[in-house]
């Protein structure tokens, strides 16, 4: 198991939501900051514990990988394909 995930295993849900939201807005590339930050603003505070764990896992992927999966340039690896990833892939910034 990823050491960061193991360290955060007993983190209170409110603190975890805030941490994940912060990480979403501070990725390293402005484009993914914008996409993931808006995604987090919309969903993270409604996610249950399991979904927060899946989102934490999603955030451990690189920006180039996330961009390629989101844009359809590459398929999502089976190990990363889960309900939160599918929600992320369907996320629309502008309606």
In a domain, 95, yes or no: no
Instruction: Report how far residue 18's alpha carbon sits from residue 24's, in angstroms, rounded to the nearest whole number.
Output: 10
pLDDT of 86 > 70? The answer is: yes
- Indicate the number of domains in the chain: 1
Task: List the CATH number of the domain containing 59.
Answer: 1.10.150.250
25 in any annotated domain = yes
Burial class of residue 70 (count of CB atoms within 10 Å of its CB; 0-12, 13-18, 19+) = buried
pLDDT in tens, 5-58: 555 667 899 999 999 999 999 998 999 999 999 999 999 999 999 999 999 999
Give this prediction's pTM. 0.86
Q: What are phi and psi of 42, to 5 degrees?
A: -80, -35
Residue 85 lies in a domain: yes
In-domain check, residue 11: yes
pLDDT band at 1 (very low <50, low <70, confident <90, very high): very low
Its domain, for residue 67, covers: 3-90
């Amino acid at each position: 198991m990823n050491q960061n995930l193991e360290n955060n295993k007993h983190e209170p849900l409110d603190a975890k939501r805030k941490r994940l939201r912060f990480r979403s807005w501070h990725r390293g590339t402005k484009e993914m900051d914008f996409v993931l930050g808006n995604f987090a603003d919309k969903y993270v505070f409604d996610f249950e514990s399991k979904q927060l764990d899946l989102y934490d896992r999603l955030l451990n992927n690189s920006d180039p990988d996330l961009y390629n999966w989101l844009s359809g340039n590459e398929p999502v690896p089976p190990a990363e394909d889960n309900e939160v990833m599918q929600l992320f892939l369907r996320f629309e910034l502008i309606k």
